[in-house]
Amino acid sequence: MAYATLTFALDDELDGALATITLNRPEKRNAISPEMIGDLLAALDEAERGTARVVILTGAGKSFCSGMDLEALRGLATQTHEQHVADAERMRKMFYRVYAFPKPLIAAVNGAAIAGGTGLATLCDFTLATPEAKFGYTEVRIGFLPAIVSVFLLRQVGEKITRELMLSGKIFDAAEAHRLGLVTQLVPQEKLMESARELAQSLIASSPTSLALTKRLILRSSEKEIERDLAAAIHESAEIRRTADFREGLTSFLEKRKPQWHGR
């Protein structure tokens, strides 16, 4: 398939057993747009149906993924409540697809992975990152809510750390992400893709059936609870967009000024 916002490549040296998906909007720091969500879902479908046994997800240029696209953010201001719900559902579908993908998925984080980009990077089975990479659940800074990713973060690092990361909205480096368990391995920039490929080869050497069933076993342990919590997160994500603080946060962010919060 041809994709507008990413590239999809099979490794011929490994007989197509490795697929690499590269988010390819470097001029936008690989920001998430509705089109990118559609492309990523389609690329993962292609990888699942095809010969690939392992998938690497990375970004073109200096960023992995900077979060939501500015044009998409501007569009939020004029959406109806039903459209907000549909938008939150698209995000849920993307994140859950990455989390529950039946084949091993490796994130090679080459630079900033902010907000939704942090979600994409850390929901993969393995997250390799360069020391220069940055992470952050920054939604509260613009009056938004990290609703969808909170469902997964709570299970990854526990409630106390989730509170710290999401309430502070702080940007943190790859070393801290590694200490928290969100990053599997720190890798020099020049070795990132080589290391990801080496990891992929070690996974390819294992039984694909065993890998798929192991992933299924892990998912099954909390699948119902995750689905329940995601449904609640979609509701909360849509509800906050009704608030004055969301409108002010969005407007101030786009206008590059300090927000004047209303507290409602």
* 206 contact partners, CB below 8 Å, separation of at least 6: none
81-90: long-range contacts, CB 8 A cutoff, minimum separation 24: 81/238, 81/241, 81/242, 84/237, 84/238, 84/241, 85/234, 85/235, 85/238, 87/34, 87/238, 88/147, 88/148, 88/233, 88/234, 88/237, 88/238, 89/234, 90/34, 90/37
Q: Which of 139, 194, 239, 255 is catalytic?
A: 139
To the query of whether residue 139 is one of the catalytic residues in this protein, the response is yes
CB atoms closer than 10 angstroms to residue 168 = 14
Amino acid occupying residue 170: K
Q: Annotated active-site positions, please?
A: 139
